[in-house]
Structure 1
Amino acid sequence: MSKTLSLSCCNLLPNDLERVWKSLGTSPDLAVLDLSSNRLGDKGLKKLLDVLSHFKKVQRVNVSENGVSMDGAVLLAAALCSSYTLCDVHISDGGKGQVLLQLRPDSSDNKHQTKAFRMKSSSVLPPDVTKICKRLTRCRSGLELEFSKCTFGEKAIGNLLKVLPDMSTLQRLDVSRSVTMVTEALSLISCLTDNQRVTCVEFSPQTESFIMFDGVKAKEVKCRLTGFCFRDVASLKRLLEILQQDQLISYLDLSDNQLEDEGVKFLIDSLPKLQISSCINLSYNRLSRQGLMGVATTLSTCPDVSDVETSLGEEKRCLIWFRRQDESGKSLRISNGSLERDHLISLAEIVSCCPSLTRLV
């Protein structure tokens, strides 16, 4: 039967840990060790990590509220890579809050298991990012790295981007609720130009934001950037410059970004420079009827566009589909458009310029 040892709120100092280790020697079935709410600090944390490999059965260690600093977080990043049993590290408030360690039973298969370093609700300075990530480059197992609900600066993001190519086992970078500005999102998306293992980038200020990596060079990339404000055309131009870097995109979601007619037109004019195999989602971008007509023109101006689907109703849908090798013909679907005479004339011109249009709904 597994056992728990709780030494929470005991005012323990680093030097008191020697007695704790002696007591553990008589508890081979110990599964949970709670050292929370003491005064161990970084020095005590290091003492704990030095003996961690001796805890053959321990599955969880709680070192929360012990005055651990970012230096302690760096120690934990190094330990995650060097320890066979340590598999997950959870830190909040830069180490001052939650510090939880998850361990797996000692097994030769552990090196094939994914490990995770998770930091939440922390202010992460540029040197902290560099130190933590450089330690994590030594991880031989698959790695998940999380900086959620954290405060970043442009320089910290820049330091992260410099280290990412060296993190060869990184599978997922989670920055949910940490990327709230379009400039920050664009900085992170620029990793597409330097890291060929990226398979998916998704950023939204209010929901999940992450980058997925493959073990080898990715054939296609899924890109989702939603819920931001792209009223500045310069930001949209920067995004398109990144996406044009000889990168095949399977799906591009730019919905709910306040692009409006001007931003959507800028994107449409740039379509020939993009390599997209499936679809672009431009829904919920405050398109007018005139903007809707502009999207429809892609059927005649872009040979690879096969279908356009738009709606000005409650769904505010706007989708551009791209031709697959075995497909022929094109289609245009407009619903809830309430088109006026001028728009119908524009629609007739689009149809006349697109002889391959086989379906109009």
Structure 2
Amino acid sequence: MTDEGCSDVTSALKSNPSHLRELDLSRNKLGDSGVKNLSDLLKKPKFKLEKLQLSNCSVTEEGYKALASALRSNPSHLIELDLTGNDPGQSGVKQLNDLLQDPDCQLKTLRFLSPAAEKACRYVNRVVGENPFLQRKLNLSGHKLGDTRVNQIAALLQDKHCQLNTLTLSGCSITEKQSLILTSALKSNPSHLRELNLTGNNLGNTGVKHLCAVLKDPHCKLERLRLICCDMTDEGCSDVTSALKSNPSHLRELDLSGNKLGDSGVKNLSDLLMNPQFKLEKLQLVSLYCTAITV
């Protein structure tokens, strides 16, 4: 079915709206036009739909905007909404977030992620009690993730809907191997992240090298990076400074405390600080194993 068929369906339902409780139009080419017709129906007080499924219906930002507007006009009935497989654009997730802030909104289930990311989101919700896609922050500090959880978090990070700007995984027992999985996910979707904290994980120089592939990406706009006590030596520090030399303008805070950087690592940092494009405002190097700091 296309938007034309959706228009006929909504027109028919307008003449007899009060009994329908569940509507599944998934995997049809409704587009924004079809969803806008449906949104006009959702605004009607007599329309008491409880479950609406619109997965893989070619809905974009405009369609999300129309849906959110309609549901704000008549928020009290819908309890389940499935938008999996559509593209909300930059503001689509914000439209959903604004809708969920409405105290009259009764939505209990909202789906718009890939299946793998949805599993990760359910785990995150159990641990931190919030939806990271709507709150923009994810803090799993102190939870030993293991391979299964790391893979789930990676799936969540690379989902096109993910717009996390703060990721804190301090003390999560992340290994060098797992750091490759996480950083590969971040590299596929780097533009939203502004703060990353991997403190207290066993990254080593190899894990830090994986992270440097993200830092080099011109789409990476990271502003705060914490790698405290990550088993890094001067080799890892050299990789970090090399990566930041190629993409220096965004980072404002860097904390490498508790690593064995030595004089060589600090000298590499000193060279980076001389770069006029490097706008760092805060640098922490506590408990370094070096004989002289010449920053």
**TM-score tier (shorter):** 0.3 to 0.5
- Bigger-Rg structure (1/2): 1
TM-score by length of 1: 0.37
- Say which structure is richer in helix: 2
Q: What TM-score results when the alignment is normalised by the length of structure 2?
A: 0.43
Higher normalized contact order (CA 8 Å, seq sep 6+, divided by chain length): 2
